[in-house]
């Protein structure tokens, strides 16, 4: 399942810059949206790749 912000119940304004590299992906989100985004991103894929998500 490819994850989109709408699937997670977020609007596009909650998601910031996304950088996709060969072995990692960096994604920014608003602090108040993190609780909604983490479980959904861990359960799905980001641009066709499995995601292991953590909060910094």
Question: Tens digit of pLDDT for each residue in 4-15?
Answer: 555 566 677 777
Residue-level pLDDT at 7 = 58
The Cα–Cα gap between 37 and 24 comes to 17
Band (pLDDT 50/70/90 cuts) for residue 26 is confident
| pLDDT, mean over the chain | 72
Question: Taking residues 33-39, what's their average pLDDT?
Answer: 75
Cα separation, 26 vs 56, in Å, equals 11
For residue 18, the model assigns a pLDDT of 76
Query: For residue 30, what are the contacts with CB-CB under 8 A and spacing of at least 6?
Result: 13, 14, 16
């Amino acid at each position: 399942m490819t994850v989109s912000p709408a699937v997670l119940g977020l609007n596009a304004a909650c998601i910031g810059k996304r950088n996709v590299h060969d072995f990692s992906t960096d994604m920014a989100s608003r602090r108040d949206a993190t609780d909604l985004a983490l479980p959904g991103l861990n359960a799905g894929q980001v641009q066709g790749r499995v995601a292991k998500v953590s909060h910094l």
